[in-house]
Amino acid sequence: MPLVNMRSLLAQAEPAGYAVGAFNVANMEMILGTIRAAEACRSPLILQVAQGRLAHSPLALIGPMMVAAARAASVPVAVHFDHGRDVETIGQALALGFTSVMIDGSHLPFEENLALTRQVKRLADTHGAAVEAEVGQLGGSEDDEEARGMLHSDPEEVRALAEGTGVDAIAMSIGNAHGLYKGEVRLRFSLLETARRLVSTPLVLHGGTGIDAADFQRCIRCGVRKINIATASFLAAEGAARTYAEQPACDWFRLSAAMADATRSNVIEHIRIFGSEGKADAS
Ligand code: 13P
């Protein structure tokens, strides 16, 4: 059941009305914890790494580890390249066996985003991989470097991108932000509802950390089928490392296990909210 195309996971989520969690990872402990969570919940999973994090987790090392972990899993796992910025690096991910890639052209004028997304779609098609694109910019930053201002997605552009490219998923900006929210989270659900009436393409919610269960579930009712969680997993692993390091006697292997376990707990919590628990065996 192991390494699968993201397209099939999202297609199964649609009629059943749940979202598949897409969890970012940075090392082996996080990969192990994330996969173990999905297996414990019998949930489908999207395992992802963002291009902006490759300085810490080189693609040539973490990519094969993610693909191998997905192949060995007892639940269906899609391996996804998050926030791809250029065609060359996306090509490297595809060559390593990623079954899904994101091209983030959301900072570009719409016509350029469309052209770049088409180029990536053609490339991904040669590998049989799925493609996620983005319309509208999220606040915050997916790599701590380039913090962007927020630009809400225009549902008409979501339609134009879907029709002009045939991508498998589209990320929208509805007031969500990468990293920790400063102040109250205010999501514009009406943008999802309008986009949903215009396209059948599964919608993606980035910036999951800090959004509460009720808002996640409302997004899912509005057609979101993939939800990205990064910061919450990083904080869980880091917090476990801090707590463990305060103990009088520490060893590396227990520290490693503590980070994997903390990642696992965070992922389980989100899988339950997203409604994908128990859905692996239907896949
Ligand atoms: P958070 O870090 O806010 O969870 O966002 C994750 C994300 O959207 C990765 O693309």
Pocket test of ligand 1: the residue of 20, 24, 132, 266 to mutate, having most ligand atoms within 8 Å of its CB, is 24
* Residue whose tokens read 């899988």: 271
Give yes or no for residue 229 CB within 6 A of ligand 1: yes
Reported as a single tens digit per residue, the pLDDT across 187-233 is 999 999 999 999 999 999 999 999 999 999 999 999 999 999 999 99
CA 110 to CA 97: how far, in whole Å?
Answer: 29
Pocket test of ligand 1: the residue of 231, 267, 269 to mutate, having most ligand atoms within 8 Å of its CB, is 231
Give yes or no for residue 206 CB within 6 A of ligand 1: yes
Give yes or no for residue 176 CB within 6 A of ligand 1: no
- CA 107 to ligand 1 centroid distance, Å: 17
Q: What is the reported pLDDT for 160?
A: 97
Beta strands 45-50 and 77-84, pairing class: parallel
Going by pLDDT thresholds of 50, 70 and 90, the confidence category of residue 183 is confident
- CA 204 to ligand 1 centroid distance, Å: 11
Section 168-182 average pLDDT: 92
Q: Give the DSSP H or E segment for 147.
A: none
CA 166 to CA 189: how far, in whole Å?
Answer: 24
CA 262 to CA 278: how far, in whole Å?
Answer: 21
Question: Over 60: is that where the pLDDT of 146 sits?
Answer: no
CA 97 to CA 63: how far, in whole Å?
Answer: 8
Specify the ligand 1 atom closest to the Cα of 231.
2
User: Under a CB-based contact definition with an 8 Å cutoff, are residues 260 and 30 in contact?
Assistant: yes
Dihedral over Cα of 232, 150, 157, 90: its sign: negative
Shortest CA distance to 278 belongs to which of 3, 10, 16? 16
CA 196 to CA 8: how far, in whole Å?
Answer: 19
Give yes or no for residue 80 CB within 6 A of ligand 1: no
Q: Can you read off the two tokens belonging to residue 208?
A: 């999951």
pTM: 0.96
Task: Please give the backbone phi and psi of residue 167, each rounded to the nearest 5 degrees, phi first.
Answer: -65, 165
- CA 251 to ligand 1 centroid distance, Å: 31
The CA-CA-CA angle for residues 238, 225, 81, to 5°, reads: 55
Q: Can you read off the two tokens belonging to residue 6?
A: 């993201």
- CA 177 to ligand 1 centroid distance, Å: 8
Reported as a single tens digit per residue, the pLDDT across 231-253 is 999 999 999 999 999 998 889 99
Give yes or no for residue 230 CB within 6 A of ligand 1: yes
- CA 222 to ligand 1 centroid distance, Å: 19
What type of residue is 179? G
Going by pLDDT thresholds of 50, 70 and 90, the confidence category of residue 112 is very high
**Catalytic residue IDs:** 82
* Residue whose tokens read 């997203």: 274
* Residue whose tokens read 């060359």: 88
CA 120 to CA 208: how far, in whole Å?
Answer: 25
CA 138 to CA 152: how far, in whole Å?
Answer: 8
